[in-house]
Amino acid sequence: MAKTFSTQRLIRFSHCDPAGIVFFVNFFEMISGIVEDWFREAVHLPFDEMHLERRIGFPIVNTGCEFYRPCHLGDTLVLELAISRLGRSSIEFDIRGRVGGDEKFRGRHKVALVSLDTFKSLPIPEDMRTRMTPYCIAPVG
Amino acid sequence: MAKTFSTQRLIRFSHCDPAGIVFFVNFFEMISGIVEDWFREAVHLPFDEMHLERRIGFPIVNTGCEFYRPCHLGDTLVLELAISRLGRSSIEFDIRGRVGGDEKFRGRHKVALVSLDTFKSLPIPEDMRTRMTPYCIAPVG
Amino acid sequence: MAKTFSTQRLIRFSHCDPAGIVFFVNFFEMISGIVEDWFREAVHLPFDEMHLERRIGFPIVNTGCEFYRPCHLGDTLVLELAISRLGRSSIEFDIRGRVGGDEKFRGRHKVALVSLDTFKSLPIPEDMRTRMTPYCIAPVG
Amino acid sequence: MAKTFSTQRLIRFSHCDPAGIVFFVNFFEMISGIVEDWFREAVHLPFDEMHLERRIGFPIVNTGCEFYRPCHLGDTLVLELAISRLGRSSIEFDIRGRVGGDEKFRGRHKVALVSLDTFKSLPIPEDMRTRMTPYCIAPVG
C-alpha cells in the first residue's frame, strides 16, 4: 500500500483572480511546492542542498492538470502526492487537490534527474530511491 | 491552411529561477497571456468585456505542457497559438514556444465557455466561432 | 506593551531569482500574506467574509520596504507584524522579516477601510478596532 | 531637461485580484520590469550580460510606492522612469504609472551596484554613468 505525502494550503487573496477563484497558474506553483516539500521531508533532500551542494536538479519533463471544480478564497486545500512511475532517472507524480471530500484538480508531473554541470541525465541514486519507493502506487495486475 | 496567432515575450529576470532558466510556472502564465491576447485581437473579445459586460468566461478544463529545452534570461520567446479542436462549448489550443528555430515547449490547453452567473456551459456563439475557425488546424485525413 | 503577530515562511525555489536569493517582489507577497493572516486570526475577519459578505476592503494606500540582507533558498523567514499607527479608517503596519537574529527587511504598509460598493472610506468599526489595539506600538514620549 | 524612459503594459487577467483591480504586488513586478528595460535599452546593459558576463548586479536597497487610484483589467498602463538621485554606487528611480492622464501610482526605487562575487559595493563605471545622466531630474535650486 503506497504512502501519500500530504500538505495543506490556505487559499489566499493573492491566489485568486477577478472571478474570485484560484487562477490556474497558482495551482502549478502549489504542485511545485508540494514536490519541493516532499523532497525535503520524505527524501531528506532540501532543494538548497540538492542544487548548491550536490549540483543536481530535477527539471520538469512534462506536466498537466485536469481541473474539476473551482477553489475559492478561504478554502483549505489539501494536496496529496504519490508516485505513479519511478524510472531510472525520472519520477512521475500523481498530485491531487481537494477541499474536504471535494476533488478540485488532479495533476501528473514528471521530473528527471540531471547534473547541473553537464545537464546530462543521471540515474537516481539508491539512497534516494529507497526513500522514494514507499510513495509508489502499486502497479495494477 | 490554418492561421497561427503569434506573440513575443522577452525573458526577464523575474521569469527565471536559481538555475538561471525560466521557472516552468511562468510558462503557464505566458500560455494564459497569449490566449487572452488572441481573444482580444483575433476574436475581438477583450477579457474585461467578456467578464464584466457579457458575464461569460472560459475557465480551463485541462492544460498540459511538454518542456523540450530550457529558456534563458534575455531570450526572445516566440509564442504561437492554433486550435487543435473547436467543440460546441470548448476550445483546445495547441501552443508552442520557440527561440529562433529552437522549440522550447509545446502545450495543449482546453477551455470551455460558461455563464458567470450560472456556471453552466454555453455553446460558443456563431459570431465568435466565425472568428475562431481560421485558427483551426485542418483535420488530417 | 504591544503584541506582535508572527508567522513563518520557508523560502522556496519559486521565491528565488537567478542570483539564488529571494526576488524582492515576493517579499511584498509575503507582507500581503501576513496582513491577511492577521485579519483572519487576530481580528477574526477572514478576507472572504470581509470582501464577499461585509462588502468592505482594505486597499493599500502606500507601502515601502528597506532591504538589509538577502534571504536564501531554505531559510525559515520569521515575519512579525505590529501597528505603528491606527487611524480613523487607516492602519499603518510595521512588518519585519528575520532569519534567526538576522534582520532581512523592514516594511511599512498602510491600508484604509473602504466600502466595496461606493469605494468611499469608512471608519473602522469599534469591534474590529478593539481587536486591533493590542498590536499598536506604544507612542513614544 | 531630463529624459523620461517610458514603456506600456496592458493590464491582464493575471494581474488582477478578486476586486477586479491590479493586485499591488504586480505593480512592483512592473517596476522591476521597467528598470530592467531601461538598463537594456538606455544603458545598453541587458541583465543577462550584467549578471552572467560582468558578474555585477543592482540589488534593491529600498523601494516604496504610493497608490492613488486602482488600475483595471484592460487598462493600458504607461510607466515612466526617471532618476531622482544618481550616487556613487546607487541609483534612485522615480517611477510613475498612469492610464491616460490619470496618475495611478508613484514609486521610488533605490538600487546599488555590487560585485556578485564579493557582494561589495562598486562605483558605477563612467561609461554607464554617461548613459544614465540624461535621465536625471535636474536638482531644484
Least confident residue range of B52-56, B104-108, C7-11, C92-96: B52-56
Residues of chain C with pLDDT under 70: 138-141
Distance, CA of D104 to CA of D39 (rounded, Å): 24
Q: Which pLDDT belongs to residue D141?
A: 40
User: How large a percentage of chain B has pLDDT more than 70?
Assistant: 97
User: Residue D1 above 80 pLDDT?
Assistant: no
pTM score, whole prediction: 0.95
Q: Which pLDDT belongs to residue B1?
A: 73
Q: Which pLDDT belongs to residue D140?
A: 41
Q: Position D15: which residue type?
A: H
D49 neighbourhood in chain B, CB within 8 Å? 74
Task: Tell me the shortest Cα–Cα distance from A138 to chain C, in angstroms.
Answer: 30
Q: Which pLDDT belongs to residue A139?
A: 60
User: Residue B141 above 90 pLDDT?
Assistant: no
Under 8 Å between Cβ of D19 and C57:
yes
Phi, psi of A22 (to 5 degrees): -60, 125
Decide if D70 and C64 are in contact by the 8 Å CB cutoff.
no
User: Residue D124 above 90 pLDDT?
Assistant: yes
Q: ipTM higher than 0.85?
A: yes
Q: Which pLDDT belongs to residue D139?
A: 60
Distance, CA of C88 to CA of C84 (rounded, Å): 14
pLDDT tens column, A78-103: 999 999 999 999 999 999 999 999 99
Q: Which pLDDT belongs to residue D138?
A: 65
A29 neighbourhood in chain C, CB within 8 Å? 14
pLDDT tens column, A48-79: 999 888 999 999 999 999 999 999 999 999 99
Q: DSSP letter string over chain A?
A: ----EEEEEEPPGGGB-TTSBB-HHHHHHHHHHHHHHHHHHTS---HHIIIIIS-EE--EEEEEEEE-S--BTT-EEEEEEEEEEE-SSEEEEEEEEEETTEEEEEEEEEEE-EETTT--B-PPPHHHHHHHGGGBPPPP-
Distance, CA of C82 to CA of D68 (rounded, Å): 24
According to DSSP, the residues that pair with B108 across neighbouring strands are B64, B94
pLDDT tens column, D5-62: 999 999 999 999 988 899 999 999 999 999 999 999 999 999 999 988 899 999 999 9
Distance, CA of D37 to CA of B136 (rounded, Å): 36
**Chains adjacent to D (≥3 CB pairs closer than 8 angstroms):** A, B, C
Interface of A with D in 70-129 (CB under 8 A): 73
Which segments of chain C are extended strands (E)? 5-10, 56-57, 60-67, 76-86, 90-99, 102-112, 114-115
Distance, CA of A106 to CA of D74 (rounded, Å): 31
pLDDT band at A141, cuts 50/70/90? Answer: very low
Q: Which pLDDT belongs to residue C139?
A: 59
D74 neighbourhood in chain A, CB within 8 Å? none
Q: Which pLDDT belongs to residue D119?
A: 85
Under 8 Å between Cβ of C43 and C126:
no
C62 neighbourhood in chain D, CB within 8 Å? 64-67
Substitution target from D9, D15, D39, D47 for chain B, most B beta carbons within 10 A: D47
3-state SS, one letter per residue, for chain B = CCCCEEEEEECCHHHECCCCEECHHHHHHHHHHHHHHHHHHCCCCCHHHHHHHCCEECCEEEEEEEECCCCECCCEEEEEEEEEEECCCEEEEEEEEEECCEEEEEEEEEEECEECCCCCECCCCHHHHHHHHHHECCCCC
Q: Which pLDDT belongs to residue A138?
A: 65
Substitution target from A11, A14, A24, A29 for chain D, most D beta carbons within 10 A: A14
Q: Chain-wide mean pLDDT for chain B? A: 94
User: Residue B140 above 80 pLDDT?
Assistant: no
- Judge whether C2 is closer than 8 Å to chain A, CB to CB: no
User: Residue A110 above 70 pLDDT?
Assistant: yes
Interface C-D: count of C-beta contacts within 8 A: 55
D13 neighbourhood in chain A, CB within 8 Å? 17-18, 23
Rounded to the nearest 10°, the torsion over CA D23, C104, D62, B14 is -50
Q: Which pLDDT belongs to residue C138?
A: 64
